[in-house]
Structure 1
Amino acid sequence: MRTPYLFVFAQAHESFRIPEILSIAELNCFTITFPTSPGEVRSSSSPFVVLELEEEQHARLLARRCILIKAVYEFYAQGSTYEEVHEANRRNRHLWSRYIEDTSFKFIVSAYNHTIAQSRQRQVIESFSYMDFMGKIDMKNPEIVLGCFEEYPSRSGTTRAKHEGDGGFLRVWFGRLIEEGSARPLVGKFDVKKRVYYGNTSMEAEISLLMANQSLASPGKVIYDPFMGTGSMAYTTAYFGAQVFGSDIDGRQMRGKGDQPGIIRAASQYGVSSRILGLCTFDVTHNPWRCGELFDAIITDPPYGVRAGAKRLGRKKCRPNLPPSTLTSVRDPDQPYIPPTKPYELAELARDLVLLGRYLLKPRGRLVFFLPTVTDEYQEVDIKTMLCDGMEVVANSLQDFGSWGRRLVTIRKTTSEQYPAPTFDVPPPVPEQSPTGNEEAVAHVPAHQDFRRKYFEGFKKASDAESDK
């Protein structure tokens, strides 16, 4: 029989919450049941959600690994009024009656989007007096902690008194604390500002931890980052036990200054340098991989041209057909050869990344990467246009910046068929029919195409651009 648990999430990254807990549940081989009763399905903006699990240990595993979980409670009651909460709590007496006689306890009353006065906190606690707990009150080391949470509507952008609107909550939640989230302190541990080596494109700690969870990083896994940069994702995935290999077209970002590569120095700071398998400099479109199915996951943040543009080997313009005598090299033989590069358009890069993932990933391996999109132009079909046979979308979470946002896309390899190495020479042929069956999507231009140009133009609509001429 499944037991309901109340999850209290951090007030950030709403669309990342459910994909993260589903990923950690998959990693630990158990399932989560979502409530289907009317009124129980909550808005994605709410930090409270009730989910059903088979064992209490499953709740503890989620609390210890999920970055966005603040705490997990055994769920006792909820309601839009305290009368509803007390009525439901009395019906669930069998859940808490065993703590009545001789159990020390602590009672906390808190609110979301509001601050409750201490006098009313006492009133709320006294309203649960019918539970008749006979154990002592212990504020420092209680045997159980009972939590009551009031959820208020958002009042962002308004000015009001500290306790204004007290009692005007949307819903009340009540339960017994199972475990506080112990993974959130990792955000401070991996803070970029405290890192010995980082760059202007280093991923913030919280996001890199979420990406590591989406990749199912764990001991025994081998994970690859094809756009390694300064290694933000390598440290978090290695911390969770995975072995990491990285590459980049520009080795200077990985090396930094000094005798020891910057990534290795930063990895040593976190005690994971032994889990960095190697760092290589090459273009992913001219990669050295001679066999596939090498990695359990690919995790990366591809450059999309705002702070650093994506490059691939090649020349922007073809050389004219000149006589061989005019093509004599004037390069100093003592200097290293630096091959020419050309821009790598984001839509083409994303499409190639999926093909590379299908080749290099083991069956059921995951490809986790960020994709920037223009908010007004984005459509669900944008993600489907980059898919290929044998790959499916697992999660698509948005980090919203207003006019644009970046989507953390998780794609899983669903096939055990071995595919040849992709060549990346020409774009894949346009299908006669879109993956959704909508013929209009054949000519669809995804919102992430030409993202760099749109970004620096201020995301002007076509009509606005015409009026500026």
Structure 2
Amino acid sequence: MWYLCVFYHRLLDYRKPEVESLADLFSKDVTDLQCNGSLEWKLPKHHHPDSPFHFVNLPSEEIARSVANRSILVKGIFELWGEGSNFEELEESIRNYPDEKKLPYLTSDSTFKIAVETFGKVISFEEQTERIRSLSYIPFKGRVNLKNPYHTFWLIETDDYDSNNGLPPISGKRIFFGREIGTADRKLLPTYQLKSRTYLGPTAMDAEMAFLMANQAQVKSGKLVYDPFVGTGSILVAAAHYGAVTMGADIDIRVVRDGRGPDCNVWSNFKQYGLPMPIGLLRADNNLPPWRSGLNEVFDAIICDPPYGVRAGGRKSGGRKLLKGVIGPYTVPDDKRTGHIPSTAPYSLVECVHDLLDLAAKMLVIGGRLVYFYPVLREDESIETTFPEHPCFKLVAISEQLLSYRYSRVLLTMVKIGPYTEEIALAARIKHLEFKENHLKWLEEGNLHSAVFSPADNHLNGSGDTKTAKDSKARYRGKYV
């Protein structure tokens, strides 16, 4: 059935993939969704693809409600009773909507309220009241209840605003009226906001993005979720909120073991929100994973933000002298192990991602999801962006977040579609070598940081003023919101 899906106007690339992931999560028994992995979408008349208004075809009202209630970026999902370019067209559309679908929600033993929402403009309380009164042709028989109604109806209006006000251009006014199926609970974002978090680090994932990553990974109660770059645990906190059993690792033993004291560490973040503690936090190296031979297909999801060298660079075990062969392997004496901090060496992104894919191919169950960030330089848009591949995985979603006019980060969602074998490992190694041979130089250690933070090249515009490349961007923000 087709529903009107109204999004929050932010993180535009993340909106549809989140809905599709949640729809798949809540409808595992629906063959079409499992096979295709995507939903049917349509745009309202005159609307830009970045518009917050979309029509989506979902299998049932129950699934639509579950998606809306769980989603971070969906403002609401509605059963559309009518739409039009003006109130006359809206009335005609509502009157033509089948009575058998309307009348069950208009009975005398029910209560209701009508909410008025606008996009691209603001209207006064008096104008809202006038619009509600104009709906008198709808035969409501129940009582009005503004606090706890049985049914909520929405009148949503867009305007033909100018295309340069930072919003996606709409060439014509559109009015929607429908019954609320479900709305998002955005209250959890202030609850989990970073500024009130007990233990933070320089790369802590913000709450909204952490919950989006958990939704992309289809986290739910009882699933085992692993973060190999756990840091201060922001991603695992979001996974634990949805009931997952969590586990993390980090190469910096000071982060996972010590924190800033007994009351300010990774564990205290879970305690702060009353969440189940992780079953384990390991000091482990993604380059040399600690798992015993033969252990595989353990995790239901792996969610992480690999270190790519902007705020923090990747590290692996060994130290420069050990990796160069200046010194040989050594054993730390027993009396020095308690306070020992192992030596580490730089860890390039191309090597880090290969190790991550190899780990996920071994340790994820079939159908499990790998969700991770991957950086992209944007200064030369003529170069086509390629992403790492692995024979065990299918890439199902690519969601870009523009962080500046120079670079962005892309959230990649991959589903494991086949078992890990020696033949697969060899094929993956060949793909990695091809990718490493042809990859861009900024994937090497330190080059991304240099590309992002080096001084911008100035150029002169037609009037002779010095402008940066950022100033030449279109005023419509698009993915920047």
TM-score (norm 1): 0.82
Alignment of 1:360 onto 2:358? no
Q: How does 1:244-393 map to 2 (within 5 A)?
A: 244-255=246-257, 256-259=259-262, 262-274=265-277, 276-290=278-292, 291-316=295-320, 334=336, 336-377=339-380, 382-384=385-387, 386-393=388-395
Residues 212-245 of structure 1, C-alpha deviations (whole Å, 9 max, x = no match): 1111111221111100100001111111111111
**Identical-residue share of aligned pairs (%):** 33
- Which residue does 1:97 correspond to in 2? 103
Aligned partner (choices 219, 222, 225) of residue 223 of structure 1 = 225
Alpha-carbon distance between aligned partners in 2 of 1:285 and 1:15, rounded to the nearest angstrom: 31
Equivalent residues of 1:151, 1:170 under 8 A apart: yes
Alpha-carbon distance between aligned partners in 2 of 1:122 and 1:238, rounded to the nearest angstrom: 43
Change (3 A) 1:356 1:18: same
Alpha-carbon distance between aligned partners in 2 of 1:205 and 1:56, rounded to the nearest angstrom: 28
- Which residue does 1:171 correspond to in 2? 174
Equivalent residues of 1:218, 1:240 under 8 A apart: yes
Q: Which ranges of structure 1 fall in alignment gaps of 5 or more residues? A: 160-166, 435-440, 462-469
Alignment of 1:197 onto 2:203? no
Alpha-carbon distance between aligned partners in 2 of 1:7 and 1:191, rounded to the nearest angstrom: 26
- Alpha-carbon deviation of 1:158? 5.7
Task: Tell which has more relative contact order, 1 or 2 (C-alpha 8 A, sep 6+).
Answer: 2
Alignment of 1:209 onto 2:207? no
Residues 243-278 of structure 1, C-alpha deviations (whole Å, 9 max, x = no match): 11111110212230324671111111222234x110
Alpha-carbon distance between aligned partners in 2 of 1:320 and 1:227, rounded to the nearest angstrom: 25
Equivalent residues of 1:113, 1:155 under 8 A apart: no
- Which residue does 1:152 correspond to in 2? 159
Aligned partner (choices 4, 10, 14) of residue 2 of structure 2 = 4
Residues 77-120 of structure 1, C-alpha deviations (whole Å, 9 max, x = no match): 22333333222222114222344452433222220121013343
Alpha-carbon distance between aligned partners in 1 of 2:208 and 2:349, rounded to the nearest angstrom: 24
Alpha-carbon distance between aligned partners in 1 of 2:349 and 2:383, rounded to the nearest angstrom: 17
Aligned partner (choices 79, 82, 92) of residue 77 of structure 1 = 82
How many pairs does the alignment contain? 436
- Which residue does 1:456 correspond to in 2? 453
Alpha-carbon distance between aligned partners in 2 of 1:124 and 1:8, rounded to the nearest angstrom: 20
Q: What is the RMSD computed on CA atoms of the aligned residues?
A: 3.6
Runs of 4+ more than 6 Å apart: 318-324, 327-333, 420-423
Equivalent residues of 1:359, 1:419 under 8 A apart: no
Aligned partner (choices 388, 392, 396) of residue 394 of structure 1 = 396
- Which residue does 1:17 correspond to in 2? 15
Alpha-carbon distance between aligned partners in 1 of 2:354 and 2:282, rounded to the nearest angstrom: 23
Alpha-carbon distance between aligned partners in 2 of 1:342 and 1:187, rounded to the nearest angstrom: 37
Change (3 A) 1:75 1:271: same
SS of residue paired to 2:154: strand
- Which residue does 1:117 correspond to in 2? 124
Task: Decide which moves more: 340-349 or 115-124.
Answer: 115-124
Task: Decide which moves more: 150-159 or 94-103.
Answer: 150-159
- Alpha-carbon deviation of 1:317? 5.7
Q: Which ranges of structure 2 fall in alignment gaps of 5 or more residues? A: 459-481
- Alpha-carbon deviation of 1:357? 1.3
- Alpha-carbon deviation of 1:35? 4.2
Residues 313-362 of structure 1, C-alpha deviations (whole Å, 9 max, x = no match): 234367888899xx999999747544332211223322322222112211
Alpha-carbon distance between aligned partners in 1 of 2:350 and 2:46, rounded to the nearest angstrom: 36
